[in-house]
Structure 1
């Protein structure tokens, strides 16, 4: 039960890289320096002014120092987004008497205009709310609120972020091209995935992705280099097998096994024992046959996976060439073949894995 709850909690977590401790400390240090320096300068410039610094800068510091590669953290987004939010917030505060209506409309309009001008910056939503709920000192400023403290805070924090990230060797702001010598695709891109391919895919996305096209290009190029290094004339089973194997335990109840079949939408699953050794395979049709004979008193004792599984299993070794497996997939219509090492299940190779290798080899033969 506890394990199931942990799995459910993991589905709520983002697919986000956890940085090493040193990098996390540097991100925190950057925010500390950025906020302290920009705050002190703002206080020096504005003196005893009550609204010399605004809370949304704390949210901006998260983006500028923790995820400076994000499109939402770029200087255009920071300055233009905060400016738009400030203008909309002040306007709503002046002309809408009900504060709840004022800040709700202000944030909604700010989001629309920021997305229209490609300047979306999440903390700007808080800037719009601050313009409405900031109190008498903010309201007395009127449209001057946009210049100070909003733009003053924004520019100062941005300058510190640029200097700090550059000192750490991070490219901030982001540049638009991977190929620094030319606007053309890199040599690798010319023969694989090109920038216009990425653009066409992104154009069909129905949601905003928090990653720039530039970063996508870099990631794809680095992944292609690793794939090319792995590109050998003869693939072994260990090169293409799936290591995270969905399996059944021989002591599982058959009803529990059926639930897993429903969850993973597969027609057959390998069966292991408590030592993670492969002991059989169970197909969905085996479960169907069990249900058909469930009314037979002679079959009433069958309630565990090990009682109805198939113990004769064709297996492969990690170092075995995948060519050896072709006859099983072609002539005998196997869906997958388990890969075992010292009797332990270490992976599986599916029909889809074999097709992917064939496609890769066909593409290479065309070059």
Structure 2
């Protein structure tokens, strides 16, 4: 049986994912610890707790512990947003006698300046109001109110949030970049929805979105339309090396010490890296196993002079050009098990194509072929 009232309730409810009970309890525990510890540390440092300031910190704790991935919950937003609101709130309290006018103007100006500095933090609105309505206690502090309790409590709560979220397996502060090895898009992004496609859609949004699951699905769907139009122009059948290569290449310098090279291998977790000279010209490649072999003979007096990358690197390197078809690369990845192939133009290393890039491109080629078969 259809119930009209239930439909209205669904319209009014937000489209947020309901977390499991364990996660909800952890969010509450985080807020409990954050507020308790920051208040107790304030008491220990300064000898008192301003109870009227719990409201803004309580609002911040909702963001920091319940939705730490939100753009509004990031450290920049909390520290800068609260500082801006504190300055404006104190100024309005000092120069606007009417309290209603003072806190209204304070919140309005805080919103404008926070949005202008990309530091929007909703609890900062409460900071601005607290600065106006805090009474004699805030008046006596004046602009010191910005340092205590605003900045002190903000930093303390932020520190607890960082530690608690890390301990519970959540990434905070939130990293926006998906590809941790390079500034380039991930292999999948290169052949489907790229960051610029999502940016194109966001440019046409007139609202500031604190992303929910529904908002994200809508943006991705519209970005897919944009990506499809781009792919039709590029023609998937004629992809060239420059279309899928990574521009931000991790390299070794030929004069690097081998110990330094080993540290870089550990850092990036790769089995082989290209080697360049001071002019960024490709001069060889170095595999991790070659470094391991060198360490096996490091005590040999005859090998003591060989301590730089150029002494043990492989100088015979298979390369491709940017305008070359990716079809030319298939034999190297399939028959010779290459992990990557450098892309060179006028002796300069301009990019690199990995096996993952090729797999993503071939997968997209299969999707394209299926769509053409369906259309026919």
Is the 1:52–1:148 contact (alpha carbons within 8 Å) kept by the matching residues of 2? no
- Deviating runs (4+, > 6 A) in structure 1? 363-366
**2:98, 2:147 → 1: CA distance?**
25
1:362 is matched with 371
For residues 313-338 of structure 1, give each alpha carbon's deviation from its aligned partner in whole angstroms, at most 9, with x where no partner exists: xxxxxxxxxxxxxxxxxxxxxxxxxx
For residues 212-231 of structure 1, give each alpha carbon's deviation from its aligned partner in whole angstroms, at most 9, with x where no partner exists: 9xx969x969xx9xxxxxxx
1:305 is matched with none
Which is greater in Rg?
A: 1
**Distance apart, 1:120 and its partner CA:** 0.3
**Distance apart, 1:109 and its partner CA:** 0.2
For residues 130-172 of structure 1, give each alpha carbon's deviation from its aligned partner in whole angstroms, at most 9, with x where no partner exists: 0000111111100000000000000000000000000111110
Give yes or no for the alignment of 1:195 onto 2:203. Answer: no
Is the 1:54–1:150 contact (alpha carbons within 8 Å) kept by the matching residues of 2? no
Give yes or no for the alignment of 1:63 onto 2:72. Answer: no
2:113 is matched with 113
Q: TM-score, normalised by structure 1?
A: 0.58
Alignment of 1:1-367 (within 5 A): 3-48=3-48, 50=50, 53-211=53-211, 361-362=370-371
Is the 2:74–2:174 contact (alpha carbons within 8 Å) kept by the matching residues of 1? yes
Higher helix share: 2
**1:150, 1:141 → 2: CA distance?**
12
**1:104, 1:54 → 2: CA distance?**
20
Structure 2 stretches lacking a partner, 5+ long? 225-366
2:355 is matched with none
Q: TM-score, normalised by structure 2?
A: 0.57
Structure 1 stretches lacking a partner, 5+ long? 225-357
**Distance apart, 1:3 and its partner CA:** 1.4
Cα distance change, pair 95–51 in 1 and its aligned pair in 2 (3 A): farther
- Per mean C-alpha deviation after superposition, the further-off stretch among 148-157 and 45-54 is 45-54
1:264 is matched with none
Is the 1:43–1:52 contact (alpha carbons within 8 Å) kept by the matching residues of 2? no
Secondary structure, in 3 states, of the residue corresponding to 2:68? coil
**1:363, 1:191 → 2: CA distance?**
17
**Distance apart, 1:181 and its partner CA:** 0.6
- Per mean C-alpha deviation after superposition, the further-off stretch among 124-133 and 40-49 is 40-49
For residues 277-298 of structure 1, give each alpha carbon's deviation from its aligned partner in whole angstroms, at most 9, with x where no partner exists: xxxxxxxxxxxxxxxxxxxxxx
Q: How many residues align?
A: 228
